[in-house]
Amino acid sequence: MKTSRRQFLEQAFKASAVITSVATPSLLQAANTVSRNAARPATTAAGALQFSQVALPYKYDALEPHIDSATMDIHYNKHHTTYIKNVNEEIAAQKINYATEKEFFANASKLSAKARNNGGGAWNHNFFWQVMKPNGGGTPTGKVADAINGAFGSVDKFKEQFAKEATTRFGSGWAWLVKDSSGKLKVGSTANQDNPLMDSSDLKGTPLLALDVWEHAYYLKYQNKRPDYITNWWNVVNWEQVAKNL
C-alpha cells in the first residue's frame, strides 16, 4: 500500500521526536558545541584575512569583584563573538583582500561601516581581555613606569588623564594609552569600535592599554556609574602585558 505524503510527514515527525527524547547529554553537548562554533568566524575565500577570537585568559569570575562574572560571560560570548562573525562575513561578502589586521585597519577609511565597526570590535576586545588579569593593578614598574613618568609626570597624573578620557567619551567608545610615531606616550579616546590603528581615527599610535566604556562592559554591575567602573578597573590592569605592548 502506498504511503500518502501526509502519513509520511507524520511518521517522520514522530521518528524525529523519539530521537530527540532519547538523545544522550553528550550528544546534546556536541550539538551545542557545533552550534556555538558555527557562530564563530565565517568561511572566507582561501587566503583571505580572517579575524579570530582569542581564548579568554581567565575564568568569567576571575576579575570579581571589579568586573562581575555575568558581564564577562555576556561580553565575551555574545558581544565579542558577534563582532568576529560579522566582520568575517563582510570580508567574504565584499571580497576584502587585505593580508593582515594591520593592513585592514590602515585602510579603514575605504571599508564599509560594517567591516570597520565589526573589525574594530573584534580586535579591540582581543586586546582588552589581555590587558586585564586576576589580582592585577598596583603600580607599574620598570620601563612602563619610566615611560609614563616621562610623558605625564607621574603614574597618578596619567591615571587622572586616562580616566578623564574614559569618563568624557560621549556615548560608546574606548579610552587608550598609545605610543605615537615619535615614541611618545599619550592618552585619548575613540568612538564606537574605532581604534588608534585605523587611518580614519583622530587618535593614532600603537595601543598599549585600553578600556571599553560601552555600557555593555559595565552596566549590569555599575548601571550608569561609569566613573566607579573606571576606578575599580585599575585593580585588574595587567601591567606586565602593557610592558610587552610597549
Please write the tens of the pLDDT for every residue from 110-143.
Answer: 999 999 999 999 999 999 999 999 999 999 999 9
Q: Where along the chain do its domains lie?
A: 64-246
Q: Is the pLDDT of residue 14 over 70?
A: no
64-246 belongs to which CATH class?
alpha beta
* Residue 168 to residue 34: CA distance in whole angstroms: 42
Mean pLDDT score of the chain: 86
This prediction has a pTM of: 0.81
Which pairs with CB-CB distance under 8 Å and at least 24 residues apart come from 185-192? 185/147, 185/148, 185/150, 185/151, 185/152, 186/151, 187/158, 187/161, 187/162, 189/165, 189/213, 192/117, 192/120
Q: Is the pLDDT of residue 148 over 60?
A: yes
Q: What is the pLDDT of residue 48?
A: 76
C-alpha cell at 231: 576606578
* Residue 67 to residue 86: CA distance in whole angstroms: 26
Q: What is the pLDDT of residue 47?
A: 61
Please write the tens of the pLDDT for every residue from 52-62.
Answer: 999 999 999 99
* Residue 215 to residue 206: CA distance in whole angstroms: 25
Q: Is the pLDDT of residue 7 over 60?
A: no
Q: Are 189 and 203 in contact (CB under 8 A)?
A: yes
C-alpha cell at 176: 587608550
Query: Which H helix or E strand runs over 177?
Result: strand 173-179
DSSP state of 179: E
